[in-house]
Amino acid sequence: RIRRTTVPQIAARKGGEPIVSLTSYHAHTAAIVDRHADFILVGDSLGMVMHGMETTVGVPLELMIMHGRAVVRGTKKALIVVDMPFGTYEESPNMAFRNAAKVMKETGCGAVKLEGGARMAETIRFLTERGIPVMAHTGLTPQSSHVMGGFKTQGRNEETWASHIDDARAVAEAGAFAVVLEGMVEPLAAKITKDIAIPTIGIGASVECDGQILVLEDMLGLNPWTPKFVKVYGQLGPMIEQAVEAYAADVRTRAFPTEDEVYR
């Protein structure tokens, strides 16, 4: 059995070979991603992608655990990181530990991710010192979209850069092993990457980041809306449409099933 990529192995990639990552919520797709990615994120974006929610705010812990388990079962090589959903970690380090430990015990994942910079530093330290590796997430943090007034690119005003840099430094100093930089102007993401000692994982950020992540369904062309930061590597939407259309026509004309698909 192949040993999975470890948290220290990801941390050691700072300034080295770029870290490859995608999200997955599903055993069969995770098995494919597992052959190519260093870590797989079971992101709370699953609320929007899999369950049609408008934001990630409504995602329950149990749903993260269900999909986390599916991805751990479907993979053997990548580090699996599971998102802590809104409302399960912000209140106190104790609450965060209780819920993060539940996620790790019930899914078998290797680390958790949570959103927030300096304000989450105490919690990140608390978890890390007690055996829970934490990936941080700063910049555009979708769980705070109601405070931010939507999904807004961060750092357009250079006066805000200092606080974004402080956030990234704070999570690194608190013991996070990597940090996702989401939705920020490119030079800010490049600067943070140079300024901090842990790997940065970019999404809508910079090619200078130590790694990149995308939502799998976005890069496969399954999202009817493609944000600017996504590169579409496959057109699965149209492919699925064609297949479903062909099947429907075959059923209507009794062209399916044929002799090959029935038991005699």
- Select from 23, 26, 39, 44 the one that contacts Na ion (CB under 5 A): 44
Nearest-5° angle of CA 174, CA 47, CA 55?
Answer: 80
Does the annotation flag 113 for ligand binding? Answer: yes
Report CA torsion sign: 96, 101, 106, 107.
positive
Amino acid identity of residue 19, one-letter, is: I
| Contact between 180 and ligand KIV per CB under 6 A | yes
Does the annotation flag 191 for ligand binding? Answer: no
The interface with ligand KIV within residues 32-61 (CB under 6 A) comprises 41, 43-45
Selecting among 17, 90, 182, 217, the annotated active-site residue is 182
Rounded Cα gap, residues 54 and 48, in angstroms: 6
- Select from 38, 83, 167, 210 the one that contacts ligand KIV (CB under 6 A): 83
Which residue lies nearer to ligand KIV by CB, 32 or 53? 53
Tokens of 155: 């750092």
Rounded Cα gap, residues 104 and 81, in angstroms: 9
In terms of DSSP H, where are the helices of 149-235? 161-173, 186-195, 216-219
- By beta-carbon distance, which residue lies closest to ligand KIV? 43
Which parts are annotated binding residues?
44-45, 83, 113, 115
Query: Could you list the residues that contact ligand KIV (CB under 6 A)?
Result: 23, 41, 43-45, 83, 137, 180, 182, 203, 213, 215
Which parts are annotated binding residues for 3-methyl-2-oxobutanoate?
44-45, 83, 113
